[in-house]
Amino acid sequence: MMLERLHSGLSGYMSRQKMPLNQARLDGALILNIDTRYRIFCRPGPHGDLVLESLLLQLPDRRDEADDMIHECLLGSWVRMMEYADVPVLSQNENEILLQQRVTADATVDEFESALEQFTNSIADWRRIFRVL
């Protein structure tokens, strides 16, 4: 992936961190590993936006247990929605809960870095909510 094709805030962040660009996937996502604990996918979004995404947890096979976790997630999201930009979502295969956050197309490097820090902190918060290490 060429640096010029990346979201400008992300490309500036990668330059600052001296990160290689060889982490791009076929689906256009770029993977950032933060503090060796957080794997964050940076996916192209609509209108040049960027979507930060990370796996929070795998849902249990038992439907009633999975439904309880989804309900807990909805309640947690409702409490957090006014203060935090992240949104938990159900994966396409409905087996995982992912966390996503949008970064606008015109975000500067500093704004991207701030969003990434907030997103990383949110992952840690959600892991505590779900008691995931």
Q: What is the pLDDT of residues 4-39, one digit of tens each?
A: 467 889 988 888 888 776 566 657 788 898 888 899
Does the pLDDT of residue 1 top 50, yes or no? no
- Other CB atoms within a 10 A radius of the CB of residue 73 amount to 21
pLDDT digits over 104-129, tens only? 999 999 999 999 999 999 999 999 98
Range of the domain at 55: 3-129
The CATH number of residue 92's host domain is 3.30.1460.10
- State how far the Cα of 128 lies from the Cα of 50, in Å rounded to an integer: 26
Number of independent structural domains in the chain: 1
CB burial class (10 A; 0-12, 13-18, 19+) of residue 24?
middle
